[in-house]
Structure 1
Amino acid sequence: MKKNIFLFLMIIILSVNASALTMAPFLKSLIDDVSFQEEVTSSGNSAVTTVMKAFFKGSALESKGAEPEEFYKKVVDQAEESGTLDEVQEILETKVKEGKATPAILFTLSMVYERKGMKREAYKALEKAEKEAKKHPQIAFNLALVYGRKEQLKTSLTGDTIIYHVPPGFALVKGKDFFIKKIEVTFAEYDEYCTKTGVSKPSDNGWGRGKNPVINVSWFDAVKYCNWLSKEKGLDLCYKIDGENVLCNFDKDGYRLPTEAEWEYAAERGSASNASAGWFLENSAGRPHMAGKLESNKLGVYDMGGNVWEWCWDWYPSSVDDSQDGKYKIVKGGSWSYSGEDITADTRGRLSPGDKNTNTGFRVVLNVR
């Protein structure tokens, strides 16, 4: 499938005209890896081979003609008209994930995002294109294109017609502009991480795995999972982890634990009664239950009260002196072993970041991009 899309992109280049070869960075970024060259050259004296040969001739790079933005727009136009916009997006995102993205790749990806109404993603891609162009000045790329489109997107993002691309399984928390996972991280999700990284799987205490919320995980386990998931999804890592020293860059676009303020805001904005929305001592039969089984709150988020306590980023503050600072992390929401009458959105618990038990898990958040 990807081979077909690569061929499609090469044919588009021919359809524009030979002067489109001035778009060297974009073309090169699509064909500079050996595996792709082997695939397309196996087609013989095809149009693709012709384009590749022309590209690798130095004189072609000096050709003048079509404006760069017109070329990128043509590529995206053709992809949209042929119904292959999703496939083109996947190819370009794969390049980004593999660390092979040039400014032109990122610029084109931003146009794909914009066509799909993903304006914040488009803006983020333009920021990355600008960063890459400045980092590698030897790559010929017209930064004026980036600046122009950033201004256009910035104007639309400040209006009332923002289109949020909400990741699957997440809910948008407006007002603070972040996404929160609808359910707590499950054993199935955490077990995948363990399998791929060789980390030991936590015990389920005999209650079952699958869609049950993961338990017996420390705060340190949770932040490591966040970084792994960010890497899996091609996002920037939020956490810099050096043993037990963990720093968070809240400007990154990867997965992280919510701050206490974010957790409370999501709980209060989506408020629902404990009786209908949470597993507590009164109804849990002494164990956690499948995530998302009860009623969601108004945001579409489940189990913000009960089931398992949830790790937050913050240290637990001391109320008398500073002896507690740096010793305990905040947990929120109560659990299956606590009375629902004692739990509200602002109730906080505390645990040492290395603690693991059968009534504590976590959920993750993402910045709006």
Structure 2
Amino acid sequence: MKIKFFWLLFFGLIIAGCKPTNPPDDPDDPDDPDDPPIVAVDSLGVSITTIAFTAGKDASLIVVRTNKSWTATKTADWLSLSATSGNKNTGFLVGASANDGLTRETTVTIRAGDKSKEIKITQASAPKMTITVKGVPVNMILVEGREFTMGSSEQSSYGLPHQVKLSDYYISETEVTNALWLAVKGSLPYTEHSEADKLTLPVSEANWNMVTGEFIPALNQLTGKTFRLPTEAEWEYAALGGKNTTGTKYAGSNTLDDVAWYLANSDKEKKAVKGKDPNQLGLYDMSGNVSEWCSDWYDNYYGFQIVNQTVVVPTLQTNPKGPDSGTKKLVRGGSSESDEMWGYSVCHVKYRHSVTPTGIDGCWGNTGNPQEPECNFIKFTGFRLVISAQNQ
């Protein structure tokens, strides 16, 4: 019996010795049962890697699933954490202060043992932001980009209809005023008269080269922002009223007198901004008062193909910026010297016009006649500003 027991014990030890042993913990192995990866879930128990906050004050719960104690850290001062450490399966609230500017992004990092997990946090742009330049406030309105039909088959001067998709951007509530130009440049661009006592009028007679080469760079230097002119597509979409559009032919109304200073009601003079009703986005004077520079070169068929003398409409253009070169720049919106006849006007939100970047051109349309004088075509041309909504 003793011999039998010995052999049973001997073979038992051999079998036990042949069983696999547990490997040591591997911090880089996500399947290691003794050290699983960190899992973050929301209040519904759904695993998360990102949190998207609204522009207002907002908060979200993060529950950390791990078998170890954990810590949480953040770098953005607009975020707050209700707890920065916890034991195993506990959680904390992430809070975001109200956003009064552009879209912003950051991360929250959770660590447990040798493992870490980052949660991407984004917060939407404010619906309106104000940037003050030497005491002059500049109100910027958020335009939520989407797909829309640019152009119209109603008139050839409106451009062929085609689909365009835009990203979010901000556009100034009004045209740039004499006050803002003076704050940035120190003097107004007029050579034959003074408007130093008319600071609420829109600035005009600044050619495209002056606006893009002098004023906007100086403004960006002062503010740390990246202002620019709107593209033609951005201008038209904003004039239409963006996502709030009701399809009016002028910027905010089918009745030009409601929303615009034009030849019949302006005495052919510029008027103070915000003197007429705004459009559906809260933008003033996008029809009338002064016409407005866009960033694009003018082209009748930009983005279109001409096949066998037939224009082929593109399926979709995303954030189009116009052709790389040209001789004239796009001008939109009409002005105080624009007329309305039989229900049509240059002030129509679809009407396309163009002027040389210097604003100077042949008075008779560049006939080639050596006697043709040169004219200034930008007495009633101004501009408004745009900033992309993504954080800069």
| TM-score bracket for this pair, using the shorter chain length | 0.5 to 0.7
2:353 aligned counterpart, secondary structure: strand
Overall identity of the aligned pairs, in %: 27
Match of 1:258 in 2: 230
Deviations 1:256-275 (A, max 9, x none): 10011111111112542221
In 1, are the aligned partners of 2:101 and 2:129 still within 8 Å (CA)?
A: no
Out of 296, 302, 315, the position equivalent to 1:314 is 296
Matches within 5 A, 1:173-252: 173-175=143-145, 176=166, 177-195=168-186, 201-203=189-191, 205-206=193-194, 208-223=197-212, 224-235=214-225
C-alpha distance in 2 between matches for 1:296 and 1:119: 22
1:364 aligns with 2:353: no
Matches within 5 A, 1:76-115: 114-115=96-97
Normalised by the length of structure 2, the TM-score is: 0.50
CA drift of 1:117 comes to 3.8
Deviations 1:301-325 (A, max 9, x none): 000000011000011115799xx96
Counterpart amino acid of 2:121?
Q
Deviations 1:215-236 (A, max 9, x none): 110101111322222222222x
2:129 aligned counterpart, secondary structure: coil
Counterpart amino acid of 2:118?
G
In 2, are the aligned partners of 1:318 and 1:325 still within 8 Å (CA)?
A: no
Q: 1:187 to 1:117 in 2, by over 3 A?
A: closer
CA drift of 1:121 comes to 3.8
Matches within 5 A, 1:1-369: 69=73, 114-117=96-99, 121-123=103-105, 126=106, 148-149=118-119, 151-153=120-122, 162=124, 164=126, 166-168=128-130, 169-175=139-145, 176=166, 177-195=168-186, 201-203=189-191, 205-206=193-194, 208-223=197-212, 224-235=214-225, 254-269=226-241, 270=245, 271-273=251-253, 274-318=256-300, 326-340=326-340, 341-343=344-346, 344-355=348-359, 357-369=378-390
In 2, are the aligned partners of 1:187 and 1:209 still within 8 Å (CA)?
A: yes
In 2, are the aligned partners of 1:204 and 1:215 still within 8 Å (CA)?
A: no
Match of 2:31 in 1: none
1:358 aligned counterpart, secondary structure: coil
Deviations 1:12-42 (A, max 9, x none): xxxxxxxxxxxxxxxxxxxxxxxxxxxxxxx
C-alpha distance in 2 between matches for 1:205 and 1:191: 15
Q: How much is the aligned-residue C-alpha RMSD, in angstroms?
A: 3.7
C-alpha distance in 2 between matches for 1:174 and 1:74: 26
Q: 1:203 to 1:171 in 2, by over 3 A?
A: farther
Gapped runs of 5+ residues in structure 2? Answer: 1-69, 83-93, 108-114, 131-138, 146-165, 246-250, 310-323, 360-375
Structure with the higher fraction of residues in strand conformation: 2
Counterpart amino acid of 2:381?
T
CA drift of 1:68 comes to 7.9
Counterpart amino acid of 2:350?
D
C-alpha distance in 2 between matches for 1:73 and 1:190: 34
C-alpha distance in 2 between matches for 1:285 and 1:73: 53
1:283 aligned counterpart, secondary structure: helix
CA drift of 1:118 comes to 5.8
C-alpha distance in 2 between matches for 1:75 and 1:286: 49
Q: 1:219 to 1:74 in 2, by over 3 A?
A: closer
2:171 aligned counterpart, secondary structure: strand
Counterpart amino acid of 2:355?
L
Match of 2:43 in 1: none
CA drift of 1:115 comes to 2.4
Aligned residues: 223
C-alpha distance in 1 between matches for 2:252 and 2:384: 18
C-alpha distance in 2 between matches for 1:304 and 1:187: 17
C-alpha distance in 2 between matches for 1:358 and 1:299: 27
In 2, are the aligned partners of 1:204 and 1:214 still within 8 Å (CA)?
A: no
Following TM superposition, the consecutive aligned residue runs of length 4 or more in structure 1 with deviations greater than 4 angstroms are 72-78, 318-321
C-alpha distance in 1 between matches for 2:77 and 2:177: 43
Q: 1:205 to 1:294 in 2, by over 3 A?
A: farther
C-alpha distance in 2 between matches for 1:258 and 1:325: 17
In 2, are the aligned partners of 1:205 and 1:358 still within 8 Å (CA)?
A: no
Normalised by the length of structure 1, the TM-score is: 0.52
Gapped runs of 5+ residues in structure 1? Answer: 1-65, 81-110, 128-143, 236-253
C-alpha distance in 1 between matches for 2:240 and 2:295: 18
C-alpha distance in 1 between matches for 2:328 and 2:127: 35
C-alpha distance in 2 between matches for 1:121 and 1:276: 34
